[in-house]
Amino acid sequence: MKLMEDTKVKQLQPNAKKVNKEESGNEELIKRKQITDSPFEVITRDGYSFGVMGNYRLTEQNYSKNQVKEVSKELEKITWNRIVQVIMILDEIRDKLKKKEILETLDKTEKV
């Protein structure tokens, strides 16, 4: 079972390097928990957790004892607020992709 966990961590962090024990004191430990059947994850670091969708934070920082469970439950709820958040994130991503596509098109036309 441990082997599978190690593999999952490597897949989530493909550019992560191995750190020896002396260096690990300076490194920040970040844990990720995928919410089943959703695009959401719970990120835990420095004693607090919060919910994310990709690079976008969805929830406030939670410092309670059962923080991962509480954030997970909050992300699993389908509320109007969560729906609006997801739509706004998707719209922002779409706009970024359109801008990138336009810039690539301009670069190609300038080279010709």
pLDDT attached to residue 14 = 43
Q: What is the DSSP letter of 36?
A: T
pLDDT tens, position by position, 52-80: 999 999 999 999 889 999 999 999 999 99
Question: Residue 5: pLDDT above 70?
Answer: no
Which residues, in sequence order, are bridge partners of residue 67? none
Tokens coding 2 = 């441990």
Can you tell me the distance from the alpha carbon of 69 to that of 88, in angstroms, rounded to the nearest whole number?
25
pLDDT attached to residue 7 = 41
Can you tell me the distance from the alpha carbon of 6 to that of 4, in angstroms, rounded to the nearest whole number?
5
pLDDT attached to residue 25 = 55
pTM for this entry: 0.64
Can you tell me the distance from the alpha carbon of 43 to that of 31, in angstroms, rounded to the nearest whole number?
6
Question: Residue 20: pLDDT above 60?
Answer: no
